[in-house]
Amino acid sequence: MMPPTAAPAAAPNPTPPPAVQAKTSHPNIVILVADDWGFSDVGSFGAGYATPNIDALAHAGVRFSNFHVSGSCSPTRAMLQTGVMNHRNGLGNMPETIPPEHVGKPGYDTVLNHRVVTIGDILRAAGYRTYLTGKWHLGSDATRLPVARGYDRAFSLADAGADNFDQRPIEGMYDTARWTEDGKPATLPRDYYSSRFVVDKMIDYIDGGAASGKPFLASINFLANHIPVQAPDSDIARYAAMYHDGWTALREARTKRAAALGIMPENAPMVMMATTPDWSKLSADERKAAARVMQAYAGMATAMDREIGRLVAHLKATGQYDNTVFVFLSDNGPEPTDPYNRLRNRIFLNIEYDTSFDNIGRRNSLSAIGPGWASAAASPLSGYKFSAAEGGLRVPLIVAWPGNAKIRASVISNGFAHVTDIVPTLADLAGVPLPGGTWDGKAVEPVTGRSLVPMLEGVEGSVHGDAPLGYELAGNAALFRGRYKLVRNLPPIGDGGWRLYDIGADPGETRDLSAAMPDRFAAMQADYRAFAQENGVLDMPPGYTADEQINRYAWEHQGRKRAIQAGAVLGGILAALIALLWVWHRRRRARNSLAGG
């Protein structure tokens, strides 16, 4: 089925300020970070739903089809902010997924450490205005919020996710939704919807500082499409006729579209994940509910795209569009976690949310696409979020600078690229220096990424050449070298064994070359061991999985929360009893006094 006709982008602010962009070689920079979008979750990468505004940026610039991030959000965001590998910037693991044995170990701070410099720091020192809105998830104390890490203004969320319609946390994970503005607790507006709000706030910041004439950095970090999957009713309704054929059919359709677009090689082999449920074995009601979740997911993506279009329209109206570098990416692959896959979860969530069919994807829902649709969202790749498979690490990247003739337009780059490359790329485009081994008089980690500007300007292949680049998160690990990838995935995605793939010809990781190429296999294993030693990578405890650790984190959190609540109730009862005893005692003394008088 063809996607619905794209809705026009919303109009910009009715009375935009006059164009005051300084006549400078320094461009504005807009970083657009999607949350948990899979490789083919953009129209110009193969999605069947409407993302016309992101696609317009793709056609104005370069699409990277071989771009890699981390398997989870915080490590990616830390590398995106710093250009430094996650074990060296403090995000060897996240608070929600770190095993107790690793807490406090070097590189496992679970927050952005103070040995790195952010892109906000770098550009502010070069005279930029620096703004951030949306998800942060890199630390919540006063020294780690965005305004302490290089941003002039910031309205940010310290948690992994939150409700998209209300100032409400993901129930079971957090007590509150920790939103702050400029480092102080903040209140969301009554008509809040996450994607609209983070763009509204960013436009306010940009306009508020326009009179300075300085270029700006705008880092916009959407909650879409993180759990809970929620979208406006009209956006869900436009996809009502779609997704009834199931995730296997969608995965195949997206694979064909990605090949037709030139994003993937023709006839690249594809496999379904072993953890993907069999659509044909679901009941009619289960298939109906599953289709509705994916309709909400598509609606959430389209709602986010509409807000990007509104920002772009505003920049055009204020004369700033041509001199703006746009970077769009996802923080990791699609989320496979099903919050309802355990009985105790279902009991709790049925109390906290309206889980009826009619409310799927709406206010007061906790909807998730699960492993079936996640497999389709990553199509034609294998795996998804948390894994080191391509479906967990390879995501869409778009870089455009509409007014710069040197940056190619409507081009696909197939060369390997990495999230640590974004900071040096932006510094290169902005004409500002990167920090060396020191910053503001103290030692810092040097940027390890490489500028992608040669690839943006037409150089074929990768700026990394044949240099090895290692990665590890929660036991899932990879080593990239040229077109080859050494990879290990723990259960349930893998068996803990190492495999070797040619991800240029076989991005779906279907043919293990370890036996056919033993010398390369051994050499890349040695490369990985060197990376792990240099970066202080720790082995995972036996039996560890990220999914189990998240559930353990949630239930431990709930146990503490319920204990506090129970203690408050018991304390209230005890206080009431003491008060009653005190009143009874006073009245008894009064009666005795009268009797004695």
Q: Which residues are catalytic?
A: 73, 137
- Asked if 381 and 396 touch (Cβ cutoff 8 Å), the reply is no
CA pair distance 294, 48, nearest whole angstrom = 12
Other residues' Cβ atoms within 10 Å of the Cβ of residue 25: 9
Measured over the CA atoms of residue 135, residue 312, residue 22 and residue 407, the dihedral's sign is positive
CB-based burial, 73-90: b 16+ in 10 Å, e otherwise? bbbbbbbbbbbbbbbbbb
Pick from 233, 278, 273, 217: nearest CA to 27:
217
Residue 215: DSSP 8-state = -
How are the residues of the chain apportioned to helix, strand and coil, as percentages rounded to the nearest 5? 40, 15, 50
Residue 419: DSSP 8-state = G
Pick from 467, 32, 483: nearest CA to 218:
32
With H, G, I as helix, E, B as strand and everything else as coil, classify residue 190: coil
- Asked if 224 and 35 touch (Cβ cutoff 8 Å), the reply is yes
CA pair distance 340, 442, nearest whole angstrom = 48
CA pair distance 462, 428, nearest whole angstrom = 17
Could you please report the per-residue DSSP string of 259-275? HHHTSS-TT------TT
CB neighbour list of residue 419: distance below 8 Å, 6 or more residues apart: 67, 68, 69, 70, 76, 79, 80, 329, 449
Could you please report the per-residue DSSP string of 57-121? HHHHSEEESSEE--SSHHHHHHHHHHSS-HHHHT-SS-TTT--GGGTTSTT--SS--TT---HHH
CA pair distance 555, 543, nearest whole angstrom = 18
Structure tokens at 560: 């503490």
Look up tokens 């036991």; give the residue: 475
- Asked if 333 and 546 touch (Cβ cutoff 8 Å), the reply is no
- Indicate the angle between helix axes 284-317 and 370-377, nearest 10 degrees: 50
CA 241: distance to chain centroid? 28
